């Protein structure tokens, strides 16, 4: 593929009272950014802040306010973005008032953040994309579908609203009230399912190539819709009515979909090691950001937290080579900066946690 020009997605980051940082501002490079430091120094917190700015949520904690620095009442996050994007994105996390989002100076939503600053992550928990619950694979898939399929978000939101109403009726043991939502579920569920299938078909072509480079083996993806293959959603909803009433929830539909991931024709979660799971997840993620970057015509932000975990030196080198060649602005953390071979033009930073706050300094670039 032809990669987007490596103009910086994020030109500047400013944090206030976030985790161990009282105040910090830094200018990342347009390509590969290494963030080095000891355990507990705040490296992962830098990645978390960038993730917040692109997602409006944390990959470390369910409650946003846990990221506010001890004894502060609010945290602030700000990023100035490159040309062709919204000029800036910002968040304020308040213990009293919750989360406030601004995109280019105006109030915004998490979807607005995602459009303005597309961010994806590889971290020590990424192996759960292979071995974890279906919800994580749906979330992964839907991030890509959101960026490539323009009508997906609206259809998914309508579907989820109808699903909430249907489930409320099921909890009230009112079958007729629940079945009244089936027509909406079928119409929007079909749009959601078709969008996911189209994206997965595109992803499959790329992940097979990346998988060969990282694993020396082909990775195969298949989509499981969330109801019996060979049955349409309308028939599946009717067939599941008795079970849905018994369980007081809707048991079929796109909200129950999954991705089957296979390596060498065998289900990956049953056959590969933890390190191989991480490489499979990396292949999926790198293929996904390539696809999204091409669709959007811009560089994507990729966060890579401690890539050496569960990988030997050879596989780590292969992974970092793929990251360095991808159409991304990468932020990579490492305990040992000497273990990471920096590509040309890379920028390196050092984080040191001392009293009363963490410090953040440029090493090179």
Measured between its terminal Cα atoms, the distance across the chain in Å is: 27
Lowest average pLDDT, out of 73-87, 214-228, 245-259, 317-331, goes to 73-87
CA torsion 341→343→346→348, rounded to 10°?
A: 0
**Beta-strand (E) ranges in 27-97?**
32-36, 74-81, 88-94
Find the CATH number of the domain harbouring 356: 3.40.50.300
Find the CATH number of the domain harbouring 233: 1.20.1050.90
Q: Are residues 321 and 278 in the same domain?
A: no
Which structure tokens are listed for 74? 């609010």
Which structure tokens are listed for 325? 């060649």
Q: Are residues 178 and 259 in the same domain?
A: yes
Q: Are residues 326 and 363 in the same domain?
A: yes
In this predicted model, what pLDDT tens digit does every residue of 161-188 receive, in sequence order? 999 999 999 999 999 999 999 999 999 9
Percent of the chain with pLDDT over 90: 78
In angstroms, rounded to a whole number, what is the distance separating the alpha carbons of residues 216 and 141?
Answer: 24
Over residues 189-206, mean pLDDT: 97
Among 240, 271, 297, give the residue marking a domain's end. Answer: 297
Q: Are residues 205 and 112 in the same domain?
A: no
Q: Please give the model's pTM, rounded to 2 decimal places.
A: 0.93
Q: Are residues 130 and 105 in the same domain?
A: no
Report cis status (omega within 30 of 0) of the bond before 356: yes
Q: Are residues 244 and 155 in the same domain?
A: yes
pLDDT for position 310: 85
In this predicted model, what pLDDT tens digit does every residue of 31-41 receive, in sequence order? 999 999 888 88
Among 297, 324, 349, give the residue marking a domain's end. Answer: 297
CB 289 within 8 A of CB 301: no
Q: Collapsing DSSP states into helix, strand and coil, what is residue 149?
A: coil
In angstroms, rounded to a whole number, what is the distance separating the alpha carbons of residues 250 and 178?
Answer: 9
In angstroms, rounded to a whole number, what is the distance separating the alpha carbons of residues 218 and 203?
Answer: 13
Among 253, 272, 297, give the residue marking a domain's end. Answer: 297
pLDDT for position 65: 95
Q: Are residues 198 and 112 in the same domain?
A: no
In this predicted model, what pLDDT tens digit does every residue of 207-253 receive, in sequence order? 999 999 999 988 999 999 999 988 999 999 999 999 999 999 999 99
Look at residue 104 and tell me whether its pLDDT is greater than 60. Answer: yes
pLDDT for position 82: 83
Question: How many alpha carbons fall within 13 Å on the CB side of residue 93?
Answer: 23
Q: Are residues 290 and 316 in the same domain?
A: no
Over residues 62-70, mean pLDDT: 93
Q: Are residues 255 and 106 in the same domain?
A: no
What DSSP letter does each residue of 179-202 carry, written as one string?
HTTHHHHHHHHHHHHHHHHHHHHH
Helices (H) and strands (E) in the chain, counts: 12, 15
**Banded model confidence at residue 325, pLDDT cuts 50, 70, 90:** very high
Look at residue 300 and tell me whether its pLDDT is greater than 70. Answer: yes
Tally of domains within the chain: 2
What domain range is 340 assigned to? 1-118+300-365
pLDDT for position 336: 79
Which structure tokens are listed for 356? 């009363």
Beta-bridged to residue 121, according to DSSP, are 303
Lowest average pLDDT, out of 63-67, 255-259, 342-346, goes to 342-346
Which structure tokens are listed for 337? 């900066």
Q: Is the dihedral of CA 131, 110, 57, 342 positive or negative?
A: positive
In angstroms, rounded to a whole number, what is the distance separating the alpha carbons of residues 263 and 339?
Answer: 29
Q: Are residues 106 and 14 in the same domain?
A: yes
pLDDT for position 4: 45
Look at residue 159 and tell me whether its pLDDT is greater than 90. Answer: yes
CA torsion 207→152→222→62, rounded to 10°?
A: 80
Over residues 65-77, mean pLDDT: 95
pLDDT for position 8: 58
Query: From residue 204, how far is each of 214, 282, 290 by CA, in Å?
Result: 15, 14, 12
Q: Collapsing DSSP states into helix, strand and coil, what is residue 123?
A: coil
In angstroms, rounded to a whole number, what is the distance separating the alpha carbons of residues 98 and 6?
Answer: 35
Q: Are residues 59 and 158 in the same domain?
A: no
CB 36 within 8 A of CB 358: no
Query: Residue 31 belongs to what H/E stretch?
Result: none
In angstroms, rounded to a whole number, what is the distance separating the alpha carbons of residues 127 and 282?
Answer: 9
Tell me the pLDDT of the chain averaged across its residues: 91
Q: Are residues 152 and 233 in the same domain?
A: yes
């Amino acid at each position: 593929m032809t990669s987007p020009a490596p103009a910086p997605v994020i030109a500047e980051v400013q944090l206030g009272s976030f985790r161990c940082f009282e105040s910090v501002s830094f200018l990342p490079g347009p390509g590969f950014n290494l963030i080095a430091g000891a355990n507990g120094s705040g490296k992962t917190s830098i990645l978390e802040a960038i993730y917040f700015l692109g997602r409006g949520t944390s990959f470390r904690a369910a409650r946003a306010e846990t990221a506010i620095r001890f004894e502060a009442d609010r945290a602030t996050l700000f990023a100035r973005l490159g040309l062709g994007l919204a000029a800036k994105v910002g968040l304020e996390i308040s213990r009293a008032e919750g989360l406030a989002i601004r995109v280019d100076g105006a109030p915004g939503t998490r979807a607005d953040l995602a459009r303005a600053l597309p961010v994806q992550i590889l971290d020590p928990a990424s192996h759960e994309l292979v071995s974890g619950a279906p919800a994580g694979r749906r979330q992964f898939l839907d991030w890509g579908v959101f960026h490539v399929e323009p009508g997906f978000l609206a259809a998914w939101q309508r579907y989820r609203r109808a699903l909430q109403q249907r489930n409320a009726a099921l909890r009230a043991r009112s079958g007729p009230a629940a079945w009244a939502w089936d027509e909406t579920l079928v119409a929007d569920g079909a749009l959601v399912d078709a969008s996911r299938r189209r994206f997965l078909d595109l992803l499959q072509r790329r992940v097979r190539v990346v998988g060969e480079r990282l694993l020396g083996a082909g990775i195969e993806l298949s989509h499981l819709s969330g109801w019996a293959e060979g049955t349409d959603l309308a028939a599946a909803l009717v067939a599941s009515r008795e079970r849905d009433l018994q369980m007081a929830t809707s048991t079929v539909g796109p909200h129950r979909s999954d991705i089957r991931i296979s390596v060498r024709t065998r289900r990956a979660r049953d056959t590969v090691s933890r390190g191989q799971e991480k490489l499979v997840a990396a292949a999926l993620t790198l293929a996904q950001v390539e696809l999204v970057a091409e669709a959007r015509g811009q560089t994507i932000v990729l966060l890579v937290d401690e890539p050496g975990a569960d990988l030997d030196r050879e596989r780590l080198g292969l992974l970092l080579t793929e990251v360095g060649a991808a159409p991304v602005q990468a932020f990579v953390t490492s305990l040992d900066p000497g273990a990471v071979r920096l590509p040309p033009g890379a920028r390196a930073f050092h984080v040191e946690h001392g009293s009363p706050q963490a410090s953040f300094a440029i090493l090179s670039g």
